Structure 1
Amino acid sequence: MTVQYQAHFVSSESIIARQLVTNGYAVVDNYLPGGQFRTLREEMVQVWQSGCFRHAGVGRGENRELQPTIRNDKVLWLEPMACSPAQRRYLATLENLRLKLNQELLLGLFNFEGHMAVYPPGARYQRHLDQFRDMGTRRVSAVLYLNENWTMNDGGALRLYLDNDKLGSYQDIYPYAGRLVTFLSDRFYHEVLPAGRERYSITGWFRQRDDMLAD
């Protein structure tokens, strides 16, 4: 008797949704094909070298200010109308993820906002929460790493604190190329540890509408 097995493919989006439900965060390697993330990295390096990145600030609106003792990375916000084809392809994959999270977790995610971020050697971002105190639109944080041949000796880990504000246990997640990290924005304090070489990522947040929060 011949037994036939049917392969069961589980998409990255489904894996992320399940891990967010179980753990509140998810780590998926090889989220993008190698050629796609290399193109993103090459574009990012070119823009970085052109001097278009700006010092990242802390806070928002009128309260936004530069505090290099807290964070000293540099960023360039993604503008959908000005994105390259490679950036648009990546944003399209995030749109698929948004739809899956809404379908399975009923989060009511409306859109995605994000920026490219470069941490020069020695730069860091101290412990913080992605959710602003007076504005709860950010629901899920998403970070794609673009660092080829990265090792643990290079440092630069994302330190995710697992006990909310107790800061007891934590998970260090290294920024390997093609790795996507997602987590609930209002739940996890986190920080970026210093790295020994330039560290590249695309960081952003899936957001709810303001009017949904009022309901």
Structure 2
Amino acid sequence: PCRHCPYLADHRAHRQQVVEIEATLGGAEGELEAARHRFQREFRAYRAVLRDAGFLEEDRPTALGLLAASLYGESALLIADGIAAGTFAGLAPEELAATLVMLVAEDRGRDRPRPGRRHLPTARVVKSYRSLRSALLRLSSLEHEHGLETLRPLSMDFIGPAYRWASGEPLADIEPPAGADIGDVVKAMKNLYSVLRQMEQALHGHELRSLVSATRERVERDLIRRVA
């Protein structure tokens, strides 16, 4: 540099800015490259899980995969698997509501101690719970094999409220679970109503559709009709 330049200080400052910008860009390129490799690994892992679970075959969706694709949300795979496995067949509307809410509600205070034994409304709800738990463990195991962890535990807090709501009990008579309030109950019922509508649209021509429609009609009342 010309040491006698009257703008030497400005030039040095500009040069420092250039160096800093180049360093920032170099770091960003490294981060982008790392992100690209991470996304590739995750994509391959998701594809492997879907293939091993029967949702994909030769990179094309199977009938089970198409069913799952017609749903949306975190529990789409479990719901589709439950439909295919017959988990929901033979349930009464209030039992289907109690079963599906396990997949769409989110318990508060997951870290608090859980009771060792929970009372479920009917023997058929118990059977459905065991089937869903088995499917969840199977899919979670596949995810673990491929370095993924996306599935959350079944919700247990809103089984009773969903059963009573679909049985026609007034909202004022439904006691919220411990650590929750009536707003949480309404939110859980709203999520339940949403998934029932999805299933109703996805199951045209399916023998389960009449049960899903009947359950949706039971749930669609009071606040749920207005806020959903």
The normalised TM-score by structure 2 is 0.26
- Pick the structure with more strand per residue: 1
| Higher relative contact order, structure no. (Cα contacts within 8 Å, ≥ 6 residues apart) | 1
The normalised TM-score by structure 1 is 0.27
- Pick the structure with more helix per residue: 2
